[in-house]
Amino acid sequence: MGGETALVLGGGGLTGVGWESGMLYGLARAGVDLTTADLVVGTSAGSVVGAQLRSGLLTPQELYERQLGDAAGEIAAKLGTGVIARYALAMARSRTDATAYRRRVGAMALAADTGPEAERRKVLAARLVSHEWPERRLVVTAVDALSGELEAFDRESGGGLVDAVAASCAVPGVWPPVTVGGRRFIDGGIRSATNADLAAGYARVVIIAPISLGSGLVPSPAAQAAKLRAAGAKVLLITPSAAARKAFGRNVLDPARRDPAARAGLAQAAEHAAEAAAVWAA
C-alpha cells in the first residue's frame, strides 16, 4: 500500500522510547509535525512510541513529558553478554539464511527462563494510553518465533494492540515471547532495527532509528533507507548523536536512562529540523 508520507520508528529499548519521544517533540516544536504521517511503522521501542502518537490522546509534548522523571512500573533488565553471544552463534550457524537466523533466535527465546508472559504484558499495557488500534494506519512489527517470518500487525490482523506491542518488544533471552492468536512472537528488531522496507511505496519517509547499525543478516537502517531512495522516495534517516549515545549509557533497558535519553533527543532535534522539513513538505 502506497501513500505520501511514512514515519518509521525503530527499536532501541527504553532509551529508544525516550530519545524518539524527545526527537518528535523537538521537531514538532520546530514546525515539523511528523504525527501527520499517512503510515507509522513501529518496531520494539518504536511500536510503543507509534501507538502513543496514533492514539490521538497525546501531543508530542505530552509524549515527551511522559518520559521524564520516575519510570514507575518499568522493570529493569539488561541484554547481557551471554544473550548477545547466543545471537552471534545463531548468526554464525545460519550463514546466509536470515530466516534461519531468526528461527534459531526464536528457539532460544522459547527455551529461556524469562518470567511470566502475563506480567510482562501488564508493563506494556501500562505504557499505552489507549489499548485500541487507531483509525490512522499503524503497523507494529514482530517475528514468529517458530517460522522466523515477519509479522506486520495492524488493525486488520486480528490481534489486540497491547499484544502486538508486547510482541514487538519481546527481546529474545530477556523477555518472554508473546502469544497472539495461538502463535508465539519475538521482537521485530531481530529482523531489522527499523523494518523500514515496510514504507516502500511512500513518497516521503522519515526514519528515526535509535540503533544505527546492522549485523550480518540484519540490515542496517542506512541500507534500508538507501533502497527506499533508489525506489524514488525522499528519505531522511535520523540516528543518535554522540551526545545522545552518551545519554543512553551502557544499558538501553535501564528505566533510569529514559529521562536523559528523552532530553538528548529534544536537544538533537534542532540539528535535523531543516532537513526534516525539506523531506516532509508536500
For the annotated catalytic residues, the residue numbers are 44, 187
Q: How far apart are CA 257 and CA 248, in angstroms?
A: 6
- For the record, the C-alpha cell of 225 comes out as 533507507
Q: How far apart are CA 170 and CA 44, in angstroms?
A: 8
19 in Cβ contact with 240 (< 8 Å): yes
Cα 65–Cα 268–Cα 55 angle in degrees, nearest 5: 40
What values do phi and psi take at 182, rounded to 5? Answer: 80, 0
DSSP 8-42: EE---HHHHHHHHHHHHHHHHHTT--GGG-SEEEE
Burial class (CB within 10 angstroms; exposed 0-12, middle 13-18, buried 19+) of 27? buried
Q: How far apart are CA 65 and CA 108, in angstroms?
A: 36
Q: How far apart are CA 52 and CA 59, in angstroms?
A: 9
228 in Cβ contact with 199 (< 8 Å): yes
Burial class (CB within 10 angstroms; exposed 0-12, middle 13-18, buried 19+) of 212? middle
